A and B are shown apart, each in its own frame.
Chain A
């Protein structure tokens, strides 16, 4: 590979990883409060449709983005109600919500846009033209849309909140030892609600990044399991916002690479690059790659009366 194709690949890597990174911001919080939330796939999907619909009707990408975050957050709210208030199985609740999101977005899409593939405005590139011309950094960083920049900055903010604020400490404590949090006078239920709703909100944002980055349209099931890559990144990145974002970028890079291999061919079949994130995750879980520090009560219900 020559220099220009490497630059090109890195640019695509960062662009393709933006939806994953944005979704991971919230996913870290919901896993930290002890909830396994596979419904972020559904939140991404409704977010993508809401982003396209909102932008279509208002012509404003910012409003589309707010619609996406609201729609994703609403699904997160239902997930929170089911898992936190009703103590249902996280997995089954998430699975059912994913089915619901898939069916509902299919129907909604057909109703809103009877003519196929309505294109809407996409996220703008804000940097001045001189910066875009800078070799390497120009295309890789500056010639990216504003949502990609947000995806590059948010993990740092999220890491700061989680590790440097007292609220972040509460969030981390809930998943590790909810009873200690309760005896400190804090509401475990409220923290868990917030964690799960946040994951829906950011998954919605991730969905909007997917739909409005260079496509500008919605397609049924367009997320295609991307949220599961984010869940995998959570394991590989050890539930640390910055680590998880880095893992998302790595997985995005693998995705960008496999797209290039599909076009240009290579000795290693492209399918193996698509599989790589999942295989790395299984290896990490099995303890072959470093140490995985799973939040202690992840996936378990909280019973206020149990000691």
Chain B
């Protein structure tokens, strides 16, 4: 068995630089993708140059990258925080749908309050919506030991169709007489402000980055963060140290759901300004992918989220220049994740090892 060898290799990667592995993974992904672009008959250098231009080449391009990164960051935090507590939240999609829905409900009702308060209420509603959608899986996981992955994954699909039903007449949330199901527009008082005139860059991006920094500080320097990491790394020790692990799992999961709910709220209140049928795309799953690439670290999620956002933003320009667009961005994302995990995720202190420790603990 060559297992020892691989552990040493990945250990080296883990020690040299904390981000060596994701960076190497991304580099390899770009290399292989260049080969794929070549195979389609286009010039990879031209394609990547177009992508860079489309993602960072102008104010509009930068704004586009920011807009696309915003929901990815929040959806990434929703996975990353859980990951730190040893929990797999695959329910980002569903929580995003529900967060967007509750934010929309508050955002389309004219409230007799100042604009800033209306916006704040809509954002809070988004958080609550996402958290509520997590309530059943969180309860089942914390109190009855039901597999979180299965329940959150199944509820993702329920959420999409539930929201679809809410957007079809005779639902009061449905806009009448439209060709595509959607809600009435968000009132101006509940919209996130645009940061750069003439672009669609809304405050959601800056708020998401700030939230990531806060999350990093909280995880690293506060009792909440310490306990969360302890529950993730060694639940027995956490229990011994007086943490109510069951309640802690419930609490952390609800916050995870809320964070994903914020991603949905941001999309509706900042960018789309209406709730559209099946608007989510793959943001929930992409958040999962990028959070795992950086092992759930909030600062890493910010960087990885901006990278994924730039791929999506740059894909449009690449489409115009070379004829290959959005699918290529998805391929690069997928290859980056595959290389990162193949380089050595699961060995040194990764999920697999922790899981093993837990199983051994159970048996012993």
Contacts and interface: CB of A to CB of B under 8 A. Distances in A.
B22 to A, nearest CB: 13
Most buried by B among A38, A281, A304: A281
B337 A96 contact: yes
Contacts of A269: 165, 168
A100 B158 contact: no
B346 A95 contact: no
Given A99-B331, A103-B328, A231-B150, 18 more contacts: A88-B342, A89-B346, A89-B352, A98-B285, A100-B335, A102-B327, A103-B334, A111-B40, A271-B164, A272-B165, A279-B158, A281-B154, A282-B155, A285-B147, A285-B150, A285-B151, A286-B140, A299-B147
B289 A99 contact: yes
Nearest to A100: B334
Interface in B125-152: 136, 140, 144, 146-147, 149-151
A235 B150 contact: yes
Contact of B338 (A96, A102, A271, A279): A96
A96 B334 contact: yes
A36 interface: yes
Nearest to A274: B161
Contacts of A97: 334, 338
Interface in B320-364: 324, 326-331, 333-335, 337-338, 341-342, 345-347, 350-352, 355-356, 359-360
Interface residues of B, number: 54
A282 B151 contact: yes
A93 interface: yes
20 contacts: A87-B347, A88-B342, A89-B345, A92-B288, A92-B292, A95-B289, A99-B331, A99-B333, A103-B329, A103-B333, A220-B327, A278-B155, A279-B158, A281-B150, A281-B154, A285-B146, A285-B147, A285-B150, A285-B151, A294-B147
Contacts, number: 149
A92 B165 contact: no
B97 interface: no
B334 A89 contact: no
Most buried by B among A96, A225, A274: A96
Interface size class of A (residues with CB under 8 A): 35 or more
B331 A275 contact: no
Contacts of B324: 107, 110
Given A96-B334, A96-B337, A306-B360, A104 B146 contact: no
Given A86-B346, A107-B40, A278-B155, A271 B330 contact: no
A274 B168 CA distance: 15
B279 interface: no
Contacts of A91: 88, 90, 149
A97 to B, nearest CB: 7
Contacts of A99: 282, 285-286, 289, 330-331, 333-334, 337
B284 to A, nearest CB: 11
B1 interface: yes
